[in-house]
Amino acid sequence: MTTNLMHSRQWASKWPGYVLLTDAVLTYLLITLGGLLCVTASGKGCPDWPGCFGGIVPPPEVGAIIEVLHRLVAALTGIVTLAAAVVCARHARWLGRASRLPIAALVLVLAVAVFGALAVLRGLSPAQATVDVGSAMLVVAVLFAAAVIARARQGQPDLPDQLMYRGPLAWSAVAALAAMYFVLVSGMFAAGPGSLTQCVGGPLFGTPMSLAAGAGWLQNLRRLAAGGAVALVLVVVVQAWRTLPRQSAIVRAAAVASILFLADIAVSALMATAGFMLWLLVAAVVVTGALWASLVVLVTLVGLPAPVARA
């Protein structure tokens, strides 16, 4: 009887983390599909909303299929985010302040859904598109951060329930995340007509950041911010190896972020030499979203109490 009760409590403590992680992955998939709609010029694959050409089943066209899949994932993300908010509220005693994060994510998901409908029916201005992309990136950030915190507090409810950022390692990681966010959300204003920069930030490096002329000074500022983010992540990796050799979670997260930065640079270089082939466009969207998520995980781990970050 006692053993069953212990197993039940252990599962109850793991449940919020599982739901949050599922929700975070769904949100990553959602922004990836949104980027694919953009790079394949399939944003008008279904001219109406919420149906597609007046029906539920899309016609056998790539654009329409991607658009419907994007809408289905958006609906599923909304449902799972609501479930995460309820689950975390029920476990607020040991989750602490992290239990409120899914509520913020739910508000942002609703905003993304509204902008998605407007994009199909009326189109979005650069300002609206910026808020749309910015909200989607914040949803990913909030949910991945909540999942990391839930795992850290699992079975350790006495841990501090807020993140603390002190020292050069912490501030380097935070600065890298801020620079990356600026690069992603500023793409709508930097882009010219038909620019790839509109697509979840577009290729972050290299000269072919757009297909048409946009705000040149802002493009250059984005390049500078992207380069600064790379430098900051490299600083974090070196600092993690030198000062936190036992905190393997932070070292792994920093290494993953560095690899994804290099992958994004490689994709941009291939675009500069081989052109804008479809598989490269898809790779750019997938890598950029993963890069953002990895930076969020890194920054969250850096803010956790030191014993937890060693896991």
For the stretch 262-308, pLDDT in tens is 888 888 788 778 766 777 778 888 888 898 899 899 889 888 875 54
Across 12-23, average pLDDT? 78
pLDDT reported for residue 311: 47
Number of residues assigned to the chain = 311
Q: Is the pLDDT of residue 244 over 80?
A: no
Tens of pLDDT, residues 180-197: 888 888 776 666 555 555
pLDDT reported for residue 309: 47
- Model confidence, pTM: 0.81
Tens of pLDDT, residues 131-176: 778 888 888 999 999 888 888 777 565 666 677 888 788 888 888 8
| Spatial CA neighbour of 268 closest among 174, 189, 183, 182 | 183
pLDDT band at 5 (very low <50, low <70, confident <90, very high): very low
Taking the C-alpha atoms of residue 180 and residue 227, their distance in angstroms, rounded to an integer, is: 10
pLDDT reported for residue 213: 42
pLDDT band at 310 (very low <50, low <70, confident <90, very high): very low
pLDDT reported for residue 196: 54
Residue 55: phi, psi to the nearest 5? Answer: -130, -175
pLDDT reported for residue 144: 92
Mean per-residue pLDDT of the chain: 75
Who has greater pLDDT, 191 or 127?
Answer: 127
pLDDT reported for residue 252: 84
pLDDT reported for residue 11: 42
pLDDT reported for residue 238: 80
